[in-house]
């Protein structure tokens, strides 16, 4: 008499949903920003109101709006509130974690609006609160590209002594005005300190910046990359370079890039994942970004691939 074996086949686990790219300074909840502006007697810039309403504006207008929010981060409590805004937005969208970009040198030295200790404490407290809800989080240091490599070294001079363990990476952002080859010594120094390196490239600069950031800057991750041509996409796919794509941000700030290249990037084999970029300035969350990706013609398999890439390459999930 034979024995029957009932074998249960478990469905494949769904990867955690990660916001792969969001900025501390651009993530404050708009209602909090309005209250703070009223309390301080400040008038909201027209550029910020325009972005909140869904308008597309030139990149310089975005910088004005972004800096208005950054100026409010002048205390440990405000920094913690910014982190909590990210956490609440991530949880509401069903997310499990986020890679958070921030510019402590800009806040502490360039603007002189709080101490480095208060900055670290605000982030630490926010991350602790986020962890209590089950979220994973890490910080990526963001230097300003158009300030040049000297600024990049100043960022590292400021933060490397006593660098907290939750800091996992170093990146450049802002206007792509300085060649990435000139940033190579800064990236080398960051890597020597144990930090992973990334760069905003091919967003407000030419697609060739993506190639230069990878081959001459030596970065291991690209933010945006939406102006890359087919040859550069082949390079990214061949080297398995993760690329963080932020559809709502791209729609607002790169109006000339049409149609959005995300489907073409995935078809080329690029390890794309979704991020929200500056959701307190350009309203969005992981849900709206997924909806935007679907509206580009991506099917369930492609969306699942975005989610899987988002988890596999997330720095907040890596030791």
**Helix 208-215 and helix 230-238, axial crossing angle in degrees, nearest 10:** 30
Q: Let me know if residue 277 belongs to a domain.
A: yes
Q: What is the pLDDT of residue 60?
A: 87
| Of the candidates 27, 32, 63, 58, the residue with the CA atom closest to the CA atom of residue 45 | 63
Which regions of the chain are under pLDDT 70? 1-12
Q: Let me know if residue 182 belongs to a domain.
A: yes
Q: What is the pLDDT of residue 2?
A: 37
Q: Let me know if residue 59 belongs to a domain.
A: yes
Q: Let me know if residue 9 belongs to a domain.
A: no
Q: What is the pLDDT of residue 125?
A: 98
pTM (two decimals): 0.94
As for how many domains the chain has, the answer is: 1
| Of the candidates 277, 224, 253, the residue with the CA atom closest to the CA atom of residue 61 | 253
Q: What is the pLDDT of residue 118?
A: 98
Q: What is the pLDDT of residue 12?
A: 59
How much of the chain is in helix, strand and coil states, percent to nearest 5?
Answer: 50, 15, 35
Rounded Cα–Cα distance for residues 87 and 149 (Å): 32
CATH (domain of 48) = 3.20.20.140
Q: What is the pLDDT of residue 167?
A: 98
Q: What is the pLDDT of residue 77?
A: 98
Rounded Cα–Cα distance for residues 272 and 187 (Å): 22
Domain that holds residue 76: 18-317
Q: What is the pLDDT of residue 9?
A: 44
């Amino acid at each position: 008499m034979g024995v029957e074996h009932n074998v249960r086949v478990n469905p494949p686990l769904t990867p955690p949903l990660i916001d792969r790219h969001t900025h501390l300074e651009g993530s404050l909840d708009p209602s909090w920003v309005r209250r703070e502006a009223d309390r301080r007697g400040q008038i909201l810039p027209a550029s910020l109101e325009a972005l909140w309403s869904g308008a597309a504006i030139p990149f310089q207008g975005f910088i004005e709006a972004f800096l208005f929010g950054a100026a409010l981060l002048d205390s440990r409590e405000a920094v913690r509130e910014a982190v909590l805004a990210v956490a609440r937005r991530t949880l509401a969208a069903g997310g499990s974690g986020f890679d958070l970009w921030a510019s402590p040198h800009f806040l502490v030295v360039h603007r002189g609006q709080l101490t480095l200790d208060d900055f670290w404490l605000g982030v630490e407290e926010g991350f602790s609160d986020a962890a209590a809800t089950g979220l994973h989080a890490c910080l990526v240091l963001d230097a300003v590209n158009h300030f040049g490599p000297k600024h990049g070294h100043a960022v590292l001079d400021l933060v490397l002594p006593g660098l907290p363990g939750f800091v996992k990476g170093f990146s450049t952002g802002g206007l792509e005005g300085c060649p990435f080859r000139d940033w190579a010594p800064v990236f080398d120094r960051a890597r020597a300190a144990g930090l992973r390196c990334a760069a905003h490239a091919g967003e407000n600069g030419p697609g060739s910046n993506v190639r230069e950031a990878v081959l001459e800057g030596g970065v291991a991750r690209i933010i945006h990359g939406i102006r890359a041509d087919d040859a550069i996409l082949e390079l990214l796919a061949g080297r398995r370079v993760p690329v963080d794509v932020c559809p709502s941000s791209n729609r607002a700030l790169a109006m000339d890039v049409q149609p959005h290249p995300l489907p073409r990037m995935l078809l080329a084999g690029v390890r794309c994942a979704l991020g929200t970029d500056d959701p307190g300035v350009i309203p969005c969350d992981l849900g709206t970004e997924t909806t935007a990706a679907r509206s580009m013609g991506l099917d369930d398999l492609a969306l699942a691939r975005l989610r899987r890439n988002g988890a596999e390459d997330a720095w907040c999930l890596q030791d």
